[in-house]
Chain A
């Protein structure tokens, strides 16, 4: 039997983590294929409904990564993101989504190897947690949200 290959989306900011991931490439550091990156201008841009959407669409795990505190290209975007993330965790519990399925981290443009570590460790965590199956629940919730 083949090992479960989790589907993981990474929402990263353009200035720190995306550049950091570029550096991982230029330094030829290898990591698992499971993680695919979507580029945002800033973690502050990330509407956490998108995270739910991703689970609704069958993601098994998510990485959100941006600039370190105080290093945000837009001054404070990453702070807003952090605050919203804390509120968002509550919602996750409510929907019965294991918080460990979301890896929230900071990776600067200089931290190529750190990015590889985060990807690999996340992949392992999600492997242990197994596939995420309750999309309907989330999808339902999202509809309600939309109709309001």
Chain B
């Protein structure tokens, strides 16, 4: 005979404001098998927990139901409390009276009645709960970091320096990410590559870091502590051990007119190429789509000139399987192609460019060696217009959010322009200046006051070309919305920061959730900003939302420390809410008929065979057996089993039925 304790929480006023908690506790007391029932202002508080512990001891409770917030919030808290009082933690269940009741309904009889129903349902369930013992999993102390931008670099270095193994996977031929494309960085105007490249080299040389460039995640299985990752190493068509990075091949390659991704199409590269001089690793790859050998079957110039004979045309993609204990996603962001802006003529007029393209123009390593020259005719622009919020804060273009970094980099762009073109005039059309950050506001003021950048508050409606000039039709909303028309030589659009094109697919491979803009979702907006809702997978940088460098670096270190904390233990305990095949005494052994429908349905290949033999060792019966190490407890097998021989601990058929019945029969 079970003795259940029911504890109803007011959650301050959050529940008690719309639910008559006293009545809920009272009604719960009437339920058969309930030995104790009460309500209290804050069940999660110390006194609240003590109240539960005492009741368990004094009343000898066999099960506990806490009617309070969502189990996703406090289930661990209360289960721990029960454990401390000597009750098996899995004998404690929570009725969600806040998120699913008091917060979504108005104060009324029906609301209180619903609360009572929810509590009764869980009481009936907990009656059927069985003590469970968590499963121990060993921790593989190797971290997988996906993305080799500043976020991935920082996370890798931190984890590696803590003495753990790191595998850093980068999609492109070199690490460095967007930061390596930037000219100077706000608010200090120090050269981006000067501060980044040492870190890149450190990564390459670190004994604990295994670098895999030109590679992508193919598959991720398993769970926290013991993931199995499959990486696709795309064929670089060179033997990395033989190649010494002399660069002869890249200089000799006849196919020279390929728009360079690194220079955002403003410069050219060859078919066999190193994306940029400081690339890490500084070894080339062959771009098959553009290589005349792969396309037309002849050329092989690189092979002829290579002093070490490192070219491998027959090289194929390679799939590598890795055991890792944790994953850090640091895949960064992309910028919205302003082709969504017919009124601004991007793609139509050569001299309308994006902010990232301007970075390359301003960069000493860029196509113009740092001189601001417009793409169309190489002329130095006398008048330049910057358009902030090009795509951002623009629901009509599908991006209602603020990209956060544009205000600062646009101020920086204008500043750099003024420093390089002294007689030039620069204008920035903006809606608001968002410069919250250490020394940010001061930076913007400097641009306005000292560098005489002209800020005009208003959006641009149209940009068109008329005899060699770009006519920018804007407005000054701060002087009775006077229309402003500027004849500019060049226009820079601060195009919105968006999620990487591959983000959605990647999220699905790893089963982490993502928002409607395909940015990865953190586990809690405030208290778990680097965790995902999948244990053991963490977030760093702009893959979670637009971020500037300082923020990215701090989040990366945050993610790294989470990994290090995880690796500080040798084994983890996992919830035992997994599938089991029933066993019964001879001669039945199990109701399982060995059809293995379950095995075919299992997404984790967690179900194998078990042979039941008699004393003579003769096989009498073949039944299914769940491998507790692999089973994740989804329960798909349960729904498939026709003989009802397999069940999920904690979500058993019996328990679910009890819930259904309890929920429906209240009169």
Do chains A and B make direct contact within the complex (CB under 8 angstroms)? yes
Contacts of B664 in A (CB 8 A): 7, 9, 54, 57-59
Known: A57-B661, A110-B521. A37 touches B96 (CB 8 A): yes
**A54's closest neighbor in chain B, by CB?**
B660
Contacts of A37 in B (CB 8 A): 96, 100
Report if B582 contacts A (CB, 8 A): no
Q: Are A44 and B121 in contact (CB under 8 A)?
A: no
Contacts of B629 in A (CB 8 A): none
Report if A21 contacts B (CB, 8 A): yes
Report if A89 contacts B (CB, 8 A): no
Contacts of B114 in A (CB 8 A): 33, 36
Contacts of A54 in B (CB 8 A): 660, 664
Contacts of A28 in B (CB 8 A): 103-104
Q: Give the interface segment out of A69-77, A90-98, A99-107.
A: A69-77
Report if B640 contacts A (CB, 8 A): yes
Closest approach, in angstroms, between the C-beta of A116 and any C-beta of chain B? Answer: 7
Known: A110-B516, A116-B104. A42 touches B635 (CB 8 A): yes
Closest approach, in angstroms, between the C-beta of B288 and any C-beta of chain A? Answer: 29
Q: Are B511 and A109 in contact (CB under 8 A)?
A: no
Known: A30-B106, A41-B633, A75-B603. A80 touches B651 (CB 8 A): no
Contacts of A41 in B (CB 8 A): 577, 633-635, 648, 651
Report if A137 contacts B (CB, 8 A): no
Q: Which of B70, B71, B534 contacts A25 (CB 8 A)?
A: B70
> CB within 8 Å of A: which of B622-645?
632-636, 638-640
Q: Cα distance A70–B512 when bound, in Å?
A: 11
Known: A19-B533, A45-B651, A71-B508. A33 touches B603 (CB 8 A): no
**A67's closest neighbor in chain B, by CB?**
B513
Q: Which of B106, B111, B636 contacts A77 (CB 8 A)?
A: B636
Contacts of B103 in A (CB 8 A): 24-26, 28
Q: Are B665 and A80 in contact (CB under 8 A)?
A: no
Known: A21-B100, A40-B635, A54-B664. A33 touches B110 (CB 8 A): yes
Report if A108 contacts B (CB, 8 A): yes
Report if B13 contacts A (CB, 8 A): no
Closest approach, in angstroms, between the C-beta of A18 and any C-beta of chain B? Answer: 7
Q: Which of A9, A19, A25, A33 contacts B663 (CB 8 A)?
A: A9
Q: Cα distance A133–B511 when bound, in Å?
A: 41
Contacts of B110 in A (CB 8 A): 5, 33
Q: Which of B70, B106, B661 has the most CB of A within 10 A?
A: B70
Contacts of B534 in A (CB 8 A): 73
Q: Cα distance A70–B507 when bound, in Å?
A: 9
**A62's closest neighbor in chain B, by CB?**
B660
Per-position 1/0 for B596-607, Cβ under 8 A of A: 000001011000
Size bracket of the B interface: 35 or more
Contacts of A33 in B (CB 8 A): 105, 108, 110-111, 113-114
Q: Cα distance A81–B636 when bound, in Å?
A: 8
Report if A63 contacts B (CB, 8 A): no
Closest approach, in angstroms, between the C-beta of B100 and any C-beta of chain A? Answer: 6
Q: Cα distance A25–B526 when bound, in Å?
A: 17
Size bracket of the A interface: 35 or more
Q: Cα distance A76–B600 when bound, in Å?
A: 12
**B663's closest neighbor in chain A, by CB?**
A36
Q: Which of B70, B71, B104 has the most CB of A within 10 A?
A: B104
Report if B98 contacts A (CB, 8 A): yes
Closest approach, in angstroms, between the C-beta of B110 and any C-beta of chain A? Answer: 4
Q: Cα distance A7–B665 when bound, in Å?
A: 10
Q: Are B660 and A29 in contact (CB under 8 A)?
A: no
Q: Which of A5, A7, A47 has the most CB of B within 10 A?
A: A47
Q: Which of B121, B508, B513, B638 has the most CB of A within 10 A?
A: B513
Report if A127 contacts B (CB, 8 A): no
Q: Are B72 and A22 in contact (CB under 8 A)?
A: yes
Report if B212 contacts A (CB, 8 A): no
Report if B653 contacts A (CB, 8 A): yes
Contacts of A84 in B (CB 8 A): 639
Contacts of B106 in A (CB 8 A): 30
> CB within 8 Å of A: which of B93-149?
96, 98-100, 103-106, 108, 110-111, 113-114, 117-118, 121
Closest approach, in angstroms, between the C-beta of B500 and any C-beta of chain A? Answer: 17
Contacts of A7 in B (CB 8 A): 664
Q: Cα distance A31–B110 when bound, in Å?
A: 12
Q: Which of A25, A42, A57, A59 has the most CB of B within 10 A?
A: A25
Report if A129 contacts B (CB, 8 A): no
Q: Cα distance A139–B533 when bound, in Å?
A: 40
**B636's closest neighbor in chain A, by CB?**
A44
Q: Cα distance A70–B509 when bound, in Å?
A: 8
Report if A46 contacts B (CB, 8 A): yes
Contacts of A110 in B (CB 8 A): 513, 515-516, 521
Closest approach, in angstroms, between the C-beta of B499 and any C-beta of chain A? Answer: 14
Contacts of A42 in B (CB 8 A): 634-636
Closest approach, in angstroms, between the C-beta of A74 and any C-beta of chain B? Answer: 3
Contacts of B117 in A (CB 8 A): 36
Contacts of A16 in B (CB 8 A): 513
Contacts of A26 in B (CB 8 A): 99, 103
Report if B268 contacts A (CB, 8 A): no
Report if B657 contacts A (CB, 8 A): yes
Closest approach, in angstroms, between the C-beta of A41 and any C-beta of chain B? Answer: 5
Known: A45-B634, A57-B661. A108 touches B653 (CB 8 A): no
Q: Cα distance A9–B666 when bound, in Å?
A: 14
Known: A31-B104, A33-B111. A38 touches B636 (CB 8 A): no
**A33's closest neighbor in chain B, by CB?**
B110
Q: Are A36 and B603 in contact (CB under 8 A)?
A: no
Known: A80-B640, A110-B513. A30 touches B105 (CB 8 A): yes
Report if B184 contacts A (CB, 8 A): no
Report if B243 contacts A (CB, 8 A): no
Contacts of B204 in A (CB 8 A): none
Q: Cα distance A21–B113 when bound, in Å?
A: 19
Contacts of B111 in A (CB 8 A): 33
Known: A24-B104, A36-B118. A19 touches B651 (CB 8 A): no
Q: Footprint of A on B, CB under 8 Å?
A: 70-72, 96, 98-100, 103-106, 108, 110-111, 113-114, 117-118, 121, 507-508, 511, 513, 515-516, 521, 533-534, 577, 601, 603-604, 632-636, 638-640, 648, 651, 653, 656-657, 659-661, 663-665
A71-B507, A73-B511 given; 16 more Cβ-contact pairs under 8 Å: A5-B110, A7-B664, A22-B72, A24-B103, A37-B100, A42-B636, A45-B638, A47-B638, A47-B656, A71-B511, A74-B604, A74-B636, A77-B635, A80-B639, A109-B533, A116-B104
Identify 13 residue pairs between A and B in the complex whose beta-carbon atoms are under 8 Å apart, listed by A's number. Answer: A36-B663, A41-B577, A41-B634, A44-B635, A44-B639, A45-B636, A46-B639, A47-B638, A47-B639, A54-B660, A74-B603, A84-B639, A110-B515
Q: Footprint of B on A, CB under 8 Å?
A: 5, 7, 9, 15-16, 18-19, 21-22, 24-26, 28-31, 33, 36-42, 44-48, 50, 53-54, 57-59, 70-77, 80-81, 84, 108-110, 116
9 closest pairs, A vs B, by CB? A45-B635, A25-B99, A74-B634, A44-B636, A25-B103, A75-B603, A42-B634, A57-B664, A22-B99
